Amino acid sequence: MPWQQAIIDAHAGKLLRGLFHSDGARVQNWGIGANGKRYEGYVRYFFDNASQDIIGICCASLDRLGISYTRPKERTVSVARRAAVAVLDEHVGPKS
């Protein structure tokens, strides 16, 4: 819808902050090395919503800010590249 795109264009960062604070998460991946020890991986964001309209608003906002993302599942958006996470950190910030 044109009116939604106008809001995305004007307030993409604020939209993403609200979306990720309500239905998203910022997590740090981890793994187990060959030596059996746990190691800390990279930080990433996930956004999950059943509404494809809301998912579309999230993706359009990410596109507007040039933030790369993937869609690992139909209702999930993932931001994992280091540079993309850094830009999203600027807009989302910690949950209050």
Residue 72: predicted pLDDT: 96
Residue 13: predicted pLDDT: 95
Q: Give dist(CA 17, CA 61) in Å, integer.
A: 10
Q: Give dist(CA 14, CA 8) in Å, integer.
A: 9
Residue 96: predicted pLDDT: 65
pLDDT in tens, the chain (96 residues): 788 888 888 999 999 999 999 999 999 988 888 898 888 888 999 999 999 999 999 999 999 999 999 999 999 999 999 999 999 999 998 776
Q: Give dist(CA 2, CA 38) in Å, integer.
A: 48
Residue 73: predicted pLDDT: 96
Of the candidates 67, 70, 75, which has an alpha carbon nearest to the alpha carbon of residue 16? 67
Of the candidates 13, 8, 20, 10, which has an alpha carbon nearest to the alpha carbon of residue 47? 20
Residue 62: predicted pLDDT: 97
Instruction: Establish how many alpha carbons lie within 13 A of residue 64's alpha carbon, considering only the half-sphere containing its beta carbon.
Output: 20
